Structure 1
Amino acid sequence: MLQHNILLICRSFKKYYGTFCINLIGLSTGLTAALFIYLWVHDELTVDTFHEKDRQLFQVLKNTPTESGIFTMDGTPARLAEALAKEIPEVEYAASVTNSDWSSGKGLISYNGTRINAEGQFVSKDYFNVFSYSFIQGDQKTALSDKYNIILSENLAMKLFNTTDDVVGKIVEWKHEGLDGLFTVSGIYKQLPANSSIKADMLLNYELFLEKNPKLEDWRNSDPSTYLVLRKDTDVDRFNTKISGFIKSKNKNSEATIFLQHYSEKYLHNRYENGKPAGGRMAYVTLFSIVAVFILLNACINFMNLSTAKAMRRFKEVGVRKVMGAKRRTLIFQFLLESMLMTSLSFIAAVVLIRLLLPWFNEITAKQLSLSFDPRLIMGAFGIAILTGVVSGSYPSLYLSNFNPVAALKGKLNSHIGELWTRKGLVLFQSMISVILMISTWIVYKQIELVQTKNLGYNRDNIVYFEMGANDAIKDNKAFESDLELRLQEVKRIPGVLNASNFRHSITNRQGGTTDVSWEGKDPNNSIEFTDLAGGYDFIETLGIEMKAGRSYSRDFAAEQSKVVLNEKAVEVMGLKDPVGKVIRIWGEDQEIIGVTKNFHFQSLYEEIKPLFFDLSVNRRVSKIMVKIKAGSERETLEQLGKLYAVHNPGVAFEYAFLDSDYQALYESENRVAALSKYFAGISIVISCLGLFGLAVFTAERKKKEIGIRKVLGSSVFRIVYLLSGEFFKTVFVSLLIAFPISYMVTRKWLDSFAYKIELSWWHFVGTGILVLLVTGLTIGAQAVKAALANPTKSLKEE
């Protein structure tokens, strides 16, 4: 019986070849999009979940009250992990790790003449009890027992030694941020999985970091990140209540509170507004999961509509089968089998398409996705295919199997009002989803355009930066300052260089800060967190930051390191009038205000501008040099910079980055979403148009005699085109009226996550509506005109 049914289905596919092709293209396209999204979502959901103590592993986040609301950050006091482990019994292990601002600057590691720029992190003694690493060599328990121990990744060890064997015990030299010295290799760890957010090439002892940065011992400063492993069965809500005021117990003037977030949730839930979770990448995971469902539904709707629309062709087949004794459940099984077979063919086509398009998809998403034999992945993909077959075949099988055999054989089977409204409703749903996707994609693009073109208060164009490297002969800070000045002057003499300076912190997304700032008239109970930005002479000028009052740092004045430059926001929160010349106290030292800059964005546009002061750094081992290059001379200037770099750092590759690339990286998620939305919206439109085209063909065929009679009676071509396409346009127009308010709510909610955003305008919606109506007209208009121009005698002489 199964073989017989399959034979009938194959004959049906052959007989209704046009319908078969439309369904195959629609379902395979929908399945391809859904499976791509499934691969992407699966990868996103597994980031950082590989750690053995994943469910007990948390990161400590800090909430600080500000004038514009509560600011949440991952920078915490340097001794927080140690204090929590000692004083809170629920904490099994705690680890401190230098955050991205400190670790993002690469240092220079060398061995026997091989010199490599590498990125390191300083981690405390319990780090390997918190995070899961697999060692190739060395003992995790003792690897950080000495302050001058260093643990290398498998990749770095291969670059440095060309092997991972017998490496432990070897002495390497590392230079970074004044932490220069000889280090003993105490371990080699296997490269972490691709779905790990930890990107360090090596790990060093946290105590050495604090020794070189004693200011961080103060509980008023925040920079490193803190991670905890809680004992099993710990109530996290109660624990959060318990530790909320822990920082205040160490610093009575602090208003900051702390709380926990699951470490593996940090990647997806990385945004907070006013101290509360406000989405992050998880919003995009949810968004694209919904998009996948809607795209599949669109494809299924096509199948349903075309199957029921061609019912008039198959009612005699159903009538004969019923007269011959076929039960309704047998017919339901046949039509469901037809749907499953169509879905299976579409699934095979989708897998082939994914194989071909996966490299392109990986390039767009910046991932390393693959069609692996992961049981969960395979089960998920098959589940999507089976569900698609059942959903797409359910309504047609119930509809076709319900025909009255007598009426069917007499040819008196007419469409009832319920069927027509169901079909219209499905078309309306398809159009509505396409419109929502189109409007959302447009809004995302306009917001990204704003982000890319907004005046940040500084000029990031044609600014390149690179690691300064280290001169082995330098032993003290004064000699370093002279060497730094010499190098900057050499850089400035290169043709095409407009200006140059040195800096340490991230310029595009500076985190960290301090509350150790006081001034005359400050409320002792008021704790305000300031961000500091470390740079040298000409730092402000190289970035093109405008001064509002006073001056910036200059070599023409003495004792500049006892001077400070603030931004407008800092002056505002301090309540200072005529601030230039006044003295404030930072980190226990008097600092004279010599200038005030206009506000500029040193964090993402998700955040309001915060109070900031510039920290002049010329005799500390600042790791990076920034160069402003004349437009049009980038290639030649970079070549000369590379040659100069090679003079001071022989054997080390010249690695540089552009500041505008760093800025774009802040919105990588949004850029990926914009690119993916564009393609998925296009797929949804194509599927909807396929459905409309198929329905237009069947409508024209079903009404061909009526059209012939109308033409004989003198009806115009325009009137006949309106007859065939009018209902479609009405349905699409209603879908626009429903889609507009939904689109507004969805896009408004997304835009509200930005501190700086575009304004939604009526033309965003009307423009999309006109485009949709135009596409609808082109899709069904050609078929309608063809039917209207057909010779009426051909249709009237049949039967």
Structure 2
Amino acid sequence: MLFNYFKDSLRLIKKHSGFAALNLLGLSIGLVSCLLIILYVNFELKFDKFHKKGSDIYRVVMRQPGNQVMGSTSDWWIVSPAILKPTWEAEFPEIDQITRTINQSWIFKLSDQFVAERILIVDPEFFDIFSFPLKSGIKTEVFKELYSMVISQKMAEKYFGKEDPIGKIMVKNDGRQFYITGVLEKIPNNSHLQFDFLTSFSTLEALNGESLLNSNWLNNSYTTYLTLQKNTNLEQFDTKLRKYDVKGFNEKEWSFHLQPLYDIHFNRQIRGTGDMGTIYIFISIGFFIMFIACFNYMNLYIAHYRAHTKYISIKKIVGASRMQLVQQFLSESLLMVLFSYVISIFTVWLILPYFNDFLGQELEFSSIWNYQILLISLGVIMMMAIISGIYPAILLSKIQLAKAIKGGIEKFSKGGLLIKKAVVVIQFSVSILLIVFTFSVFKQLEYTGNKSLGYQKEHIIYMYAGPIRNKINAFKQELLKNANIAKVSASSGIPSQLGWSNIPVWEGQAEGENPFFYRLEVDYDFLELYEIELQDGRNFSKDILTDNGNAYILNRAAVERIGFKEPLGSKFGFKKKLGTVIGVTKDFHFESLHKPITPLGIGVAENGNFNYLSIKLNNEDFKNTLIHIEKAWKEIVPDNPLKYYFFDERLEQLYAKDQQLSKSLKYFSIMALFISCLGIYGLMSFSLKERTKEIGIRNVLGASFMNQLNLLTREILIILIFAAIIGGTIGWVFSSNWLNNFAYRSEMGIDIIIYSALITLVMTMVPISFKLLKSISANPVQSLRTE
């Protein structure tokens, strides 16, 4: 029976190929959008879930109430002491395996090229805990010898091509030779651990000439992961860790906690990079577009149902029941969705590389064959087939035999017309909702790009100062010989990447009052280079010897937090050492606009712990100036490749996720609007068929095209007004909730809804006008013969 249904459906599709092509287009666009969203959501939700022991892996995190992590409002820290591993192995029998990791920025020389990639130091247990399989090498032996190195497949291909890298030598810039003992399989993109090279802590200790066992509990720059013995009560063990005596942390109460591996990506409080809010937005968009595509099919089918009357009459004459007709039309709907799915699979394969480039993603087409995605796709196909086909099937199966034989059209009841129009209202409401949301995101990103941050961001490059930390002054002098270099400054951090936070001290500080302030250590040129304005007081000066290591400049947020009435001359400092406040800056945004401005203390030092070097360029001859910088770098540190970054591009990275959302919304809004226009085209087609005789009479009486257009599009305009009210209101609510993620946000106006409605109106009127022009141009004699 089902085979016969499909056979008849194929015959109908072939007979009405133009109509079928239009339906296929709408369904295919909807399915392409849904599949892209499914791939993205799957990528995000599958973060770190490729590890075989994933559900049993935990990251050790630390919490100190009131101590905000750099770049965060959270008091959770993902670092832990190096000595924690051997100590806990001895003290906690509940622990099965434990490994530490720490990132390093080493430079290697391979043949005649420098290698500066991501290096991760790990313990041997790393391969037992995590599922990073080796393509070459044996996991129990790769770190057996000192100075062993495991490299990723990507690095093996990059530096060795098709040659086997096992046994190859890589020379560190201090002359130490490392031997490649293993090659990893491709590291999944949805892993929070990303690295290019692995080496062992034994090697790190050999390089440093000191055992990590001798380090104290304040040496907490490491990340620790562990698995527990079977039958361990997680809640009881976590409680035990919270009460654990954290040796050496006596400034405030610290506590240890376990964070599940699967919680890492989406836990924004503990520096997760994922955002479940964005996931919910994409899932909602997927459902919206799916329903729009289904409603579009429904409207087009109803508009074209005259072509099915002969088929219905034949079926009814041979005794087909109404249920059999419903099943037949549902089979046709299912077949159309299946055809569309095949087309959409091929389309996704073609456009995915461009989609990845467009969004800055690394989605893989092979994921589409994952059994979970296939099951979801099957569910989407069945849902779309039922939603698309059920109403037309019920409607067409009601046609009376006498009417069907004559090929006449039964007038829809008021209820039927109302349903059909309601469907179109929903389509356009969703389209306008998406456009309003897109405008809001775009407007906020424009706001963040144009808002004055309180410092200069153009024509500045920066670099990490580690390789030249002991030769900064010589490097600065060499750079300043070039007239196109305006300023050079060394600092512990830069705006958007400050460095660290400390507990400050000040005169009159109440007992137990220990807030954490951001701390920035700079040289004398920093404020001038970034053009950070002072609200009160003066800048640091080389001529005032007491400034070095003793003078501080605070931002307004710090002054207000402390409660200084007369900040200039007040005593303030870090690490229980008081200095003197000599100035107060106007508040500047050293973090993204998602976050409010927080307290900051800036100190000056001639030879500070500088991590960054900032260079301000004049507006001329960038190319030769950069060549001069590279030449100066090579003269001072020839064994270290220079890597520099443009500061304004760094600031843009703060809003990378928002930019990704904005680009996605633009794409999906266009798709939703296009599908909706197909739906309105179907509604107009039906309306024109219903009023063919009326149009013919008006033509005979001399009605103009504009008069006909005004008359026939009146109901469309009413539909769009309702859609603008509904979609605009919901879009406004969505946008307001999203904008609440920003401490500093753009203002939403009614103009966004008006613009969205106008765009929808223009996009809608174009196909309608063409269709109407075709109907008006028809022979009036033929029109008047229409029943």
- TM-score when normalising by structure 2: 0.86
> Is 1:71 aligned to residue 67 of structure 2?
no
Residue 400 (structure 2) aligns with: 404
Deviation, 1:544, is 2.1
1:90-109 to 2 correspondences below 5 Å: 92-93=96-97, 97-98=101-102, 106-109=105-108
In structure 2, do the counterparts of structure 1 residues 160 and 341 end up closer, same or farther at CA, with 3 Å as the change threshold? closer
- TM-superposition CA deviations, 1:264-304 (whole Å, max 9, x none): 3332x2434xx9x9995222222112212211211111111
Deviation, 1:430, is 0.3
Residue 501 (structure 2) aligns with: 513
Residue 40 (structure 1) aligns with: 40
- TM-superposition CA deviations, 1:597-627 (whole Å, max 9, x none): 3322222222222222335566467454321
In structure 2, do the counterparts of structure 1 residues 675 and 493 end up closer, same or farther at CA, with 3 Å as the change threshold? same
Deviation, 1:424, is 1.1
Deviation, 1:633, is 2.7
Query: Which has the larger displacement, 303-312 or 107-116?
Result: 107-116
Q: Which amino acid aligns with 2:340?
A: S
- TM-superposition CA deviations, 1:326-374 (whole Å, max 9, x none): 2334323322222222223322322232232122111012233333244
> Is 1:263 aligned to residue 261 of structure 2?
yes
Q: Which amino acid aligns with 1:32?
A: V
Residue 22 (structure 2) aligns with: 22
> Is 1:568 aligned to residue 565 of structure 2?
no
Asked if the contact 1:120/1:204 (under 8 Å) is kept, the reply is no
Residue 286 (structure 1) aligns with: 280
In structure 2, do the counterparts of structure 1 residues 228 and 348 end up closer, same or farther at CA, with 3 Å as the change threshold? same
Residue 197 (structure 1) aligns with: 192
Deviation, 1:133, is 3.7
Residue 637 (structure 1) aligns with: 625
Deviation, 1:426, is 0.9
Q: Distance in 1 between matches of 2:261 and 2:528?
A: 40
Q: Distance in 1 between matches of 2:699 and 2:79?
A: 81
Q: For 2:673, which of 680, 685, 697 is the aligned residue?
A: 685
Residue 758 (structure 1) aligns with: 746
Residue 449 (structure 1) aligns with: 446
Q: Distance in 1 between matches of 2:487 and 2:755?
A: 46
Q: Distance in 2 between matches of 1:524 and 1:77?
A: 28
In structure 2, do the counterparts of structure 1 residues 114 and 198 end up closer, same or farther at CA, with 3 Å as the change threshold? same
> Is 1:394 aligned to residue 390 of structure 2?
yes
Deviation, 1:487, is 0.8
In structure 2, do the counterparts of structure 1 residues 495 and 236 end up closer, same or farther at CA, with 3 Å as the change threshold? farther
Residue 364 (structure 1) aligns with: 358
Deviation, 1:379, is 4.4
Q: For 2:416, which of 414, 419, 434 is the aligned residue?
A: 419
Asked if the contact 1:152/1:185 (under 8 Å) is kept, the reply is no
| Unpaired runs of at least 5, structure 1 | 176-180, 472-479
1:21-420 to 2 correspondences below 5 Å: 21-59=21-59, 60=61, 62=63, 64-65=65-66, 71-76=74-79, 78=81, 81-82=84-85, 92-93=96-97, 97-98=101-102, 106-110=105-109, 115-121=114-120, 130-134=129-133, 136-137=136-137, 143=143, 153=152, 164-166=165-167, 172-173=171-172, 182=176, 188=182, 190=184, 192-202=187-197, 203=199, 205=201, 225-231=223-229, 251=249, 254=252, 260-267=258-265, 269-272=266-269, 280-372=274-366, 373-409=369-405, 411=408, 413-420=410-417
> Is 1:578 aligned to residue 577 of structure 2?
no
Residue 475 (structure 1) aligns with: none
Residue 733 (structure 2) aligns with: 745
Query: Which has the larger displacement, 604-613 or 7-16?
Result: 7-16
- TM-superposition CA deviations, 1:20-57 (whole Å, max 9, x none): 22212111111111112222222222222223332133
Q: Distance in 2 between matches of 1:364 and 1:183?
A: 41
Asked if the contact 1:210/1:216 (under 8 Å) is kept, the reply is no
- TM-superposition CA deviations, 1:673-722 (whole Å, max 9, x none): 11111011001000000111122122212210133345556767555434
Query: Which has the larger displacement, 669-678 or 725-734?
Result: 725-734
Query: Which has the larger displacement, 721-730 or 644-653?
Result: 644-653
> Is 1:523 aligned to residue 488 of structure 2?
no
Q: Which amino acid aligns with 2:398?
A: N
Query: Which has the larger displacement, 350-359 or 124-133?
Result: 124-133
Q: Distance in 1 between matches of 2:565 and 2:80?
A: 32
Q: Which amino acid aligns with 1:196?
A: S
Residue 768 (structure 1) aligns with: 756
Asked if the contact 2:403/2:409 (under 8 Å) is kept, the reply is yes
- TM-superposition CA deviations, 1:605-652 (whole Å, max 9, x none): 222222223355664674543211112432221122122223334365
Q: Which amino acid aligns with 1:109?
A: F
In structure 2, do the counterparts of structure 1 residues 746 and 669 end up closer, same or farther at CA, with 3 Å as the change threshold? same
In structure 2, do the counterparts of structure 1 residues 594 and 122 end up closer, same or farther at CA, with 3 Å as the change threshold? farther
Q: Distance in 1 between matches of 2:601 and 2:99?
A: 29
Q: For 2:532, which of 542, 545, 553 is the aligned residue?
A: 545
Asked if the contact 1:247/1:254 (under 8 Å) is kept, the reply is no
Asked if the contact 2:167/2:181 (under 8 Å) is kept, the reply is no
- TM-superposition CA deviations, 1:641-670 (whole Å, max 9, x none): 122223334365443211111221121111
Residue 704 (structure 1) aligns with: 692
Q: Distance in 1 between matches of 2:15 and 2:149?
A: 72
Q: Distance in 2 between matches of 1:615 and 1:144?
A: 46
Q: Secondary structure at the match of 1:118?
A: coil
- TM-superposition CA deviations, 1:163-187 (whole Å, max 9, x none): 53225xx684357xxxxx8476586
Q: Distance in 2 between matches of 1:380 and 1:429?
A: 24
- TM-score when normalising by structure 1: 0.85
* Matched residues, number: 771
Q: Secondary structure at the match of 2:365?
A: coil
Asked if the contact 1:725/1:781 (under 8 Å) is kept, the reply is no
Asked if the contact 2:264/2:272 (under 8 Å) is kept, the reply is no
Asked if the contact 1:95/1:228 (under 8 Å) is kept, the reply is yes
Asked if the contact 2:550/2:603 (under 8 Å) is kept, the reply is no
Q: Distance in 2 between matches of 1:151 and 1:321?
A: 71
Deviation, 1:489, is 0.8
Asked if the contact 1:484/1:618 (under 8 Å) is kept, the reply is no
